[in-house]
Chains A and B, each alone.
Chain A
Amino acid sequence: MRHLSTDVLIVGAGGAGMYAAIAAAREGRTVLLLDKGLVGRGGATIMAQMTVAAAIGQQEPDDWTLHLEDTLEAGRGICNEPLSRMLCERAPERILEMDRWGTRWAREDGHIRQVTAPGHRRRRCCYVDFLSTGPAVAATLRHQVATTDRVRRVSNVAVIDVCVADGRVRGAVALDLSTGSLVTIAARAVILAAGGLTKIFRRNSASTNMGGEAYWLALDAGAELVDMEFVQFFPIAHLAPRLVGMDPIMWDPFRYKLGGRLLNGQFEEFIHRYGGEDEGRYTAPRDLASYAILKEVEAGRGSPHGGVYLDFRHLPEATLRGAFGPVIDRLLANGIDLTRMPVEVAPTAHYHMGGIVVDERLETRIAGLFAAGEAVGGPGGANRLSGNAISEAMVLGECAGRMAAGAADADPGWLSLYADRTRGELADLRGRKGRGRAPGVAQVELQGVMWEHAGPFRTGDGLERALARIRELRRELPDLAIADGDVFNLDVQDWFELRAMLGSAEAVAISAIQRTESRGAHQRLDAPQMVPGLEKNQVVSLAGGTLTSRWSAVVRSGVRTP
């Protein structure tokens, strides 16, 4: 079996993983940066079309403490405050470092231009025109990673087990998709930076990476998860007409730059009926907007494809072009002329607030096992602010890389028997012939179950049904069929991915069942009020094959950012 060794192993090469690689390498460590897709091409950062929040104060006076107040307020009282503080305090350094590295932040009058986004009291959100923020950030980090000594990057290698012995991480076992063979990796420290779980929902804005693998790897290694019931549903994702080559959440910047009327299927404004103010501007919070849209659809006042209309017909073409230039042509190529027609939009699973429990050094309770980016739980509490996701990727990525480097002094030792379990699992998959359905088909069913019962609106009964079905699907894992062939066998990849998706889905369901209130992104139709006594977190752990969730006090501030 192929064997590699490194000081710091990073699982996932999106925004957080790449930043972690740079930070660990500049502390003098060797880094192995793995991605199951292509390094720097997968994950969520590259898909982001919007803004990055950082209190650099170039547009107007600002301070990270104000950014922190906004972040904590949006998080509805249950943010992990030291992590929220880290995000807000360090975001300016990261934005300015990216600027030195050549990211072309939009500028005006010689300074980085900053705009507002919902929930921010200052104009503090930086961006790259036109809707190119994520690709520009990813390109900058790819270049930095490629020109940093001591970083080895490997594509098409999926980590499927993090190996722990005597409470300390030892390395990992991974599947080399190109050959179908296993690779073992001895590592002094491991950083999980493989993103969130939005792919477990039928409607999602995820890349194919976001199947909750980081969460499953953490649970299985003995680490814990927190806030798993808090999935952010983005209210106005593109629904129709069919649009290719654009991220479905693209309409947000259109709304806050230009306004845009949200209308039901009868072309009536409706947000005000649900206690929001809209007035063609971008002011209704994400949870309220999602609620209002789905209620209109439920009442039979939806648009033809089951959403609502977003209408820019009141704006002249020159205004649209001034704000979005080449994007207007990409829309026209899709047959969408905003001056003549509204588009249909609907909520979609967009981001996961929950994630791996880490301390203020981003280390889990397993020594040497760290997490970064969306994989981490806590900085956003019950509801993440718009603009905080890439800040989180950069800040937590940098910190995790630096801290993991500091934890990589001693060689904990690697034994080949650490790979025995995975070797057995792979041998079992290879031996299967046409028994059941393909794992990818079961994934589609899971996505439907989660959307139906654990999506934007939840009830206790529905969540119990989801949990029962998730557990049945888990029992089906040994019977799923795997096609022949070792080389680039996507069934094998889908099987390991499905196992992670089911673990993550179960963590969401059990946490959502126990939280009998509505708070932030977690909306229970059978418990519509926020309950003051539930201003606490739930922590999920795995023991003896069973997931359990327990209540835990919120981690308040008082800790300095390392």
Chain B
Amino acid sequence: MTTTLSVWRGGAGEGRFERYDVPFEEGMSVLDALRWIRAHVDSSLAIRYSCINANACHTCMALVDGRVEYTCTARLAPAGVTVGPLPKRPVIRDLVTDTMPAEEKLAPQT
């Protein structure tokens, strides 16, 4: 059984949603599917996560079917899902947005 993810690829404003067929397993998370895409279809997909499954690091947020969610706890629906970058945050690449506190960034080089 497979399901389909529609995933934002590109930078801020310029880009498109691309469709990926992913094997579906009961109970899997959206992050599981995104990591599957990186490992099996396109390793250039940019995503941010650390703890993978524990919902401890709180770094894997994205817009899942229009709602801000942790992709590690958002369940993948058999009917498929649309995943985009967080709104109101500058997009760095694909699903990675600039969620770093200002003081944790290297200031742009002058």
Residues of A within 8 A of B (CB): 2, 37-39, 41-43, 46-47, 134-135, 146, 152-157, 176, 178, 183, 206-209, 241-248, 334-335, 438-441, 444, 483-485, 487-491, 494
Contacts and interface: CB of A to CB of B under 8 A. Distances in A.
16 contacts: A37-B57, A38-B99, A38-B100, A42-B51, A46-B51, A47-B51, A156-B100, A157-B106, A176-B106, A242-B28, A244-B75, A245-B73, A248-B54, A483-B42, A490-B44, A490-B46
Contacts of A245: 53-55, 70, 72-73
A441 B43 contact: yes
A277 to B, nearest CB: 31
Given A155-B104, A155-B105, A156-B100, A487 B93 contact: yes
Contacts of B28: 242
B27 A242 contact: yes
Contacts of B58: 41
A533 B10 CA distance: 60
Given A38-B104, A183-B106, A485-B93, A208 B26 contact: no
A244 B70 CA distance: 11
Given A46-B57, A244-B73, A440-B38, 17 more contacts: A38-B50, A42-B50, A43-B50, A46-B56, A153-B103, A154-B106, A155-B101, A178-B98, A208-B52, A242-B28, A244-B53, A244-B72, A246-B53, A247-B56, A248-B54, A490-B43, A491-B43
Interface in B46-100: 46-59, 70, 72-73, 75, 92-94, 96, 98-100
A98 B104 CA distance: 23
B44 A491 contact: yes
Given A245-B55, A245-B73, A207 B43 contact: no
Contacts of B59: 37-38, 41-42
Contacts of A248: 53-54
Nearest to A152: B103
B93 A488 contact: yes
Q: Is the interface of A mostly helix, strand, loop or mixed?
A: loop
A393 to B, nearest CB: 15
Interface residues of B, number: 43
A242 B31 CA distance: 13
Interface of B: 11, 25-29, 38-39, 42-59, 70, 72-73, 75, 92-94, 96, 98-101, 103-106, 109
Contacts of B53: 243-248
A438 B43 contact: yes
Contacts of B57: 37-38, 41-42, 46-47, 207
B51 A440 contact: no
Contacts of B56: 46-47, 134-135, 247
B109 A208 contact: no
A397 B62 CA distance: 33
Q: Is the interface of B mostly helix, strand, loop or mixed?
A: loop
A483 B73 contact: no
Most buried by A among B54, B59, B70, B73: B54
Given A37-B59, A41-B59, A183-B106, A335 B27 contact: yes
The 4 closest A-B pairs by CB, nearest first: A242-B27, A483-B44, A438-B43, A245-B55
Nearest to A242: B27
Contacts, number: 127
Most buried by A among B44, B58, B59, B101: B44
A209 B96 CA distance: 17
Nearest to A199: B52
A253 to B, nearest CB: 14
B7 to A, nearest CB: 14
A440 B72 contact: no
A439 B43 CA distance: 9
A241 B32 CA distance: 15
Contacts of A243: 27, 53
Contacts of B39: 440-441, 444
A384 B47 CA distance: 34
A246 B56 CA distance: 8
A487 B96 CA distance: 10
Contacts of A246: 53-55
B50 A334 contact: no
A153 B105 CA distance: 8
A488 B92 contact: yes
A146 B47 CA distance: 26
B44 A208 contact: no
A246 B54 CA distance: 4
Contacts of A152: 103
Nearest to A206: B52
Contact of A207 (B27, B29, B52): B52
A490 B45 CA distance: 8
Contact of B92 (A47, A178, A334, A444): A178
Most buried by A among B29, B45, B98, B104: B104
Contact of B49 (A146, A208, A491): A208
Contacts of B101: 155
Contact of B50 (A41, A241, A247): A41
A335 B75 CA distance: 12
A47 B93 CA distance: 27
A439 to B, nearest CB: 8
B41 to A, nearest CB: 10
A183 B49 CA distance: 23
Contacts of A208: 49-52
A440 B46 CA distance: 13
B3 to A, nearest CB: 15
Nearest to A41: B57
Contacts of B103: 146, 152-153
Nearest to A250: B54
Contacts of A38: 50, 57, 59, 99-100, 104
A494 B104 contact: no
